[in-house]
């Protein structure tokens, strides 16, 4: 999975926190698992194309429908 390392580093730098290479790799793996879970939920929900109104469905119950 491609995640912009510079974006991660910038976000952490803006919070005055250093991000080590190992921490970056762990975060990248975690995001990959999360996106894989979202894709699986979309497939299980018979969603062929994810639109903004579908985001709450694939993210799970912790998000509301306010994104519609």
As a whole number of Å, the end-to-end CA separation of the chain is 27
Prediction pTM value: 0.72
Residue 19, classified by CB atoms within 10 Å of its CB into exposed (0-12), middle (13-18) or buried (19+), is middle
Number of structural domains the chain divides into: 1
Asked if residues 8 and 27 have their Cβ atoms less than 8 Å apart, the reply is yes
Domain range for 31 is: 5-67
Q: What digits encode the pLDDT tens for the residues 5-60? A: 888 889 999 999 999 999 999 999 999 999 999 999 999 989 999 999 888 888 88
> What secondary structure letter does DSSP report for 48?
S
């Amino acid at each position: 999975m491609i995640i912009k390392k510079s974006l991660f580093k910038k976000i952490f730098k803006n919070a005055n926190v250093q991000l080590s290479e190992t921490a970056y790799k762990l975060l990248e793996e975690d995001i990959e698992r999360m996106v894989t879970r979202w894709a699986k939920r979309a497939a299980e929900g018979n969603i062929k194309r994810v639109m903004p109104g579908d985001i709450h469905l694939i993210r799970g119950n912790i998000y509301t429908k306010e994104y519609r």
